[in-house]
Amino acid sequence: MTPQAALDMQIEMYRRMKPEQRLKLALDLPELACDVAREGIRYQFPQADEAEVERRLRERLEVGRQLQRCHFS
């Protein structure tokens, strides 16, 4: 399957979803992003325990907030 075909299929799936399903998907995205970031931290720092993973995640989120403030100021 080509990337364009996969995108077209995904868009069609979204169009068939009920509005409540699309809203739930949108509301779940931040937690999914945090889960992906946690996995990246674990990969980068395999020795990190869960407390360190969460600390590093919070640091990354704070950097993102600071960049967003600078970008939109």
pLDDT, one tens digit per residue, over 10-46 is: 999 999 999 999 999 999 999 999 999 999 999 999 9
Domain containing 59: what range? Answer: 3-72
How many domains in the chain?
A: 1
Name which residue leads in pLDDT, 16 or 69: 16
pLDDT score for 53: 98
> Is residue 49 within 8 Å of 72, Cβ to Cβ?
no
Amino acid sitting at position 21:
Q
Give the mean pLDDT of 1-6.
Answer: 95
- Alpha carbon separation from 39 to 25, 44, 61, 67 (Å, rounded): 20, 9, 15, 22
Q: Rounded CA gap, 10 and 51, in Å?
A: 36
